[in-house]
Structure formats: structure tokens, C-alpha cells
Structure 1
């Protein structure tokens, strides 16, 4: 799995997750509320309503719910169009009821905000815009055309014109604001959810590869002894069967196949290390392992490892965690993608911290996005230059988000900057993007850290 295969779910896909049963239950709640309001207004307050038309409007919703319950299965998932149709129906039905009961003079006109706000959190942008426009049209119509609210004494319940106008303006602003706010927040939640899922998938893949290397190394180690025995016995048989060419040929075949198995296991063993050693490695080895997939991509990667002034400890052996390797690999990949010719990776350590800085000689991070680096799905559209540089990427910031999340999970702090902003640096070649990753040494030191690797004999790997 690469970042190219990780794509955010679209609005239409999410809209298809809504069950018909959910919409039916919500409509039953609305029907019960409408019937209660009509009955109380008529019996308790004595308002002269068009009861026949009011109950007709509610009855349409009841019939629609009954048809949906008996025609479709309860676990049916609504499509985008079906969702839009149901919410539009509820909006128009509520608008008709408000027309019959005083229009904007009815305080229940605020309920028009409900369907529009729900659509902003579940439906696509186009469907949300359609519902917003419909709601604004309905509010405008019932502000002018509506049946008055008459009392038993013949009086009319109505607000002054200036209040009706203010009510109309407030409803339109509320529709626009609540819809925009709900959609903005929901989009952020969806983006973060998609990015976190992608991060977990990337980490799971890296963990599987690490575990596979350990299993392969263990298998090579365990099978080495029986293969050596087979080879020894076959060699002795070959000496004793010189007078029998047919049996000697079979013994020769056994020895050759044992040698072949030895070579195969040796090649497989290069992909993994012994199980305890697999969990730790020198800092330089981990960095080179993270950069290895991008060494042959036409850009030069230069490494520099140095002990900071005042440090008394030598190069640390750090925990070889999948999240550290994958996170550094993503950062190096990003540098290689946008570098003109060279990427520099510098590692320094003191007695208390370990830091890695990754430079490139490209154009650096866009200044207007510098404060948002690490946010998932920052860009929805790709420039032509970006598509040429990174044809295999969606270009939405997902790779940097995964790197930042995984490295912070290991205890690191990340800082992003442009080399041109670091005027104190003597090396003026490094004018592109700069990423600095800093760990407290205790977090990843495999010997003296908080989670040291145990010493002693390796334990067998059980499958």
C-alpha cells in the first residue's frame, strides 16, 4: 500500500451510508411533534386553523413512512439522490404547514433549519446547496404568502412588519451560517478520520514487513542445521556409492538440492535480522534503511552523522520501530520529490536528545502553507507542476500527515521551515525545505532508554 492508493472518501460515498430506517425514525419523531403542536394550538389555545389541510400535510408524511417501511427492507442504504429527495420532501412539507399556520408569525418556523443543517453533515456540496436555496425560497414565500393565525374571538396573531422582516433576515443568515459551519466542521472530521485510517494502514503494513523479516531470519536459522546434516550424509553416501552410478547420481542430486536450499535461505535471511537484533539498530543504520528505497530515483542523498559538542555518549542504538522508519521514509521521499538535485540528511545526538534534519535544494514549502504542514488533505486540486513532479501522489498532504503522526507517536517533535529563512547557516546550498525531528533520547534509546531491548539469548518465534 502506498499513498497513491489512499484516497479520501467522497461526499456521495458517505451519503450512501445512511440507512432508510434512520430517516424513517426521524420522520416519525417530526410527525409526532407536528400532531402535538396542531392539537395543542387548536384545543388549548383555541386558534382557528385549517385542520383539514394541516392533517392532510401530516398524513402525507405518514403515508410516505408506511410505504417506505413495507416496500423497502429495514437495512436499505439510501443513495445520494434518495437522501436528497427525502430531505427535500420533509422541507417542503414543513414549509406547507407553516404556510397554513401563520408563516413567519409562527415561532416554529425555526424548524426549517433542521433539514438544512442535517444535509450539510451528510450530503454532498451540490445537494446541500440545493437544499439551502429551497429553504431560502420557502422562507421568502411564507413571509409574504400565508394564512393568518386567527383566535376564537376573531383577532389575528401577527408581529409588526419590521419584526417579520428581521425574522426573515435572521432565518436566511441562520440557514447560510449553520450550513457553512456544519459542513466545515464535518469536512474537517472526515478528513482527519480518513487520514488516521491511512496512518494505521501504513503502520500495519510496516509492522507486517518487520515481522516477516524476523520470521524469515528465524526460519533460515532453524533450517540451517538439518540442511547441513542432509548435506553431510549425502556426501558420505556419494563416497560409498561410487561403484553404483545410479544411486550415486541420486545422492549427488540430494546434495545439490541441499546446497540450493542453503542459498535460498541465505538470500531470504538478508531481508531480516535475528529477532532480538531486529528490534534495535544504530541511528545511522535506521536512517539509511529509511532512505534506501529512494536512493536510485535520480537525486543525490548525502548523510552526515555527528556527535554534538559536550556529548559523552557515542552514537546511540535506537529502537527500530516501524513508525520511526516509515515516518522518516515519508519525509525523505517528500524531500526527494521536490529537490532539484540533492537531499541532505543530518543526524546529531547529545546525552539527552537525538535530532535528525532533512534538507533539500528545491523551492521549499509554500509560505502560505507553512503553518498548516502536517494537516491532512490540505489541497483539493493539484497544479500542473505538482502533477509532473509527483505523478503517483494525490498531493493532499497525506504523506506528511502520516509521517508527522507516526513520528509524534514515537515521542518526537517536528519542525518545518524553509532553508532561506535560516540565514545563520553557512551552507547556502540548502535553501529548500527543512524538516527537523527531535526525540528525547530516553524515548528511543534501545540501551538506556525507557524501553530498553532485553539482552540474552533469543527466544523462538512462534507462528
Structure 2
């Protein structure tokens, strides 16, 4: 679907330029060519064109969408006003008669076939009428100071100026239309990618729910058997120690499954505004509990008070996943930086691992693609999807000093939003 609001805005710009050019042409005809123009008839036509432009600007400020029939009506109005102005300025003998082609070119680039044909027929009718019905610019019998050759030279120069202006106007409009169409195409591509990600997430969620349900029974069986083994082998301290470790691990798995079942409800109630520094501190604290072997340095380079972010359990888990990925690459000397500007907060994680290859960089963020040689390859995919829900993103680069640089960008949220 064409973006007719943007098209109408560009048309108003072209109309402004045309109005300015027509006013200059009238002044030149009166004082340069000594033409006897009826300014009391030309003036109102120019005034109506200016009023139409002001109404268009006001209409564009409203939230209502611009429809194709409305844009078509605007083009018809332009052609009618151009025809009225040209009628009083020489009709088809005016070198600026080709100004009528501009609305046709715009219609061809933006409207459907039936509207283009209607515009084309209107242009032909107006041009054909101006061949026979017009008020001449110069009355040769009453104005002997103009020779025929001089008038011909003026006509040729006018056609050259008209050609240049038409090229500029058409090129400008077509380029802007192309940019608008390109933006629409990019938006459609983003929506398509989002739908694909949503489908992949739904598949993962379905598999996770099924797996969680299926794991419940064997975990319960293992817990019962471990309790029986504990009673049967009270005389073997070493075996009891191993059994206790296994029982702890099964309890952790059962607890995680229970948390998964309640994750959606917790997610809805856990979202709140938090300072970025507090978020990174809590995430690093959770990392150190899980990975005490990790060593890191934290640099807060943002100026002023720490901005606030919409934070939730899933967002903290996403940042924790990235820190875990860095720790898997190289647990020593992980450099963490927190920075911000007026609109965004930046989390940067630099590990000293082997970095990422070109093949891996092309597929990063896709499900079931991993850079670690182990795992399911869904951590980074889930992280990128979660950050996208918060209007953020994650990018991975090979750092010039070696290793991988992971950069997370998140928008700053104001307290009144």
C-alpha cells in the first residue's frame, strides 16, 4: 500500500515551489515583457492555490489516513488551477504549459491504473482546451516594441527554464517516493522477520512445555529411589554423600520446572523501572553466585545520574545469558562497561576468548545456532528476541584486541512514561 500521507506532503512541497515560480513568471510577464495581464483574474487563481496548500498542511496534521481518492482529488485540483492560470497567460503558447505533466507523472508513480488514466484524460482535455481558448500574453498589433524573433527567443528560453524546473521537480518527487517505498519495504521485511521469530518462539515454547511435563514423572521417580537408597546405605558415608548430591540436583531440576510453569505470571508482575546501574549490579551478582571462577572489571562511563530502564526477570536473564556466554569463552578478565546517552543505554561485554568466525557471525541470533560447540543454540536467539520486546538489540563483534565484544542497546524510559 502506498504511503499517500507522505506523497501528499511531497506534493505540498512541489505546490509551494510551483506557486513561487508562477508568481515570478507573472511579475516577469508584466514588467519584463510588458504583457497586459488581467491580474484581477490571475491573482485569485494563485490565491486559491496558496489556500489549497495551507488546507493541505492543516489536513496533514490530523491523524486521519490519506486515502487514494483524496490524493487523486488533490492532483485534479492542481491541474485545474494550473489550467486556470495558464488560460490567462497564453494558454498552450506559454512555455510553462508542460507544468501540467507534473501531476500526471506523480499519479503514475503513486496511484492505481484507473486513477492514472483519469488524470491522463484530464491533462489531455485541459491542454487541448488551452490550444483554442486562452488570453494571449502579447498583443502584437498593439505592442510594436516586441518583434516576432524576440518573442520567439523568449519562448525558447522559457521552454528551457520550464524543462529544467520540470526535471528538478520530477526527480525530487520520484526520489522521495523511492525512499518512501524503500522504507515501507524495510518495515515489511522487519514484520516478516518478527513473524518468523514469533513462530519459532511458539515452537520452542510448545516443546519446552511438553518436555517439562514429560520430565516431571522421571524426576519424581528418581527422588523416590534416592530416598530409598539413602535408607538402605546408611553404613556407607561415601555413597551417602554421592546420593545427597544427586538428590540436591534432582531437587534443583524439579524447582526449575516449577518456576517454568509460573514464568508467564511472574513476568507480567515483575516488570518495573530500575536504574541501569542497579540492573547490571544484580545481574553480575547472580553471575558470581553461579560462576565463582569468573573474574571481571566493571566500568561505568555514562555521565550524570543513571537512567532508568523497564526491567523484568526475562531482561535480567537475557543479560545473564550474555555474561555466561562470555564466561564460557574465557572466564578470566571479562571487561564490562555501562554507558548511556540521552536516549539509549549501552551494555558492553568484552571477553578474551577466540572470537567469532565470519560463518558464525552470519547466523548469530538464529535458533539452534551455537558458537560454543555444545548446548542447544537457543540462548542468543531467546536473548535477542527478549531485547527486541524492549525495543533493544544485541550485536556481536570481533574486538580489535582479540576476543568478542557484545553490545546491548536499550532505550531509556522516563518515569512519567
TM-score range, shorter chain: 0.3 to 0.5
TM-score by length of 1: 0.39
The structure whose residues are more often helix, as a share, is 2
TM (norm. structure 2) is 0.43
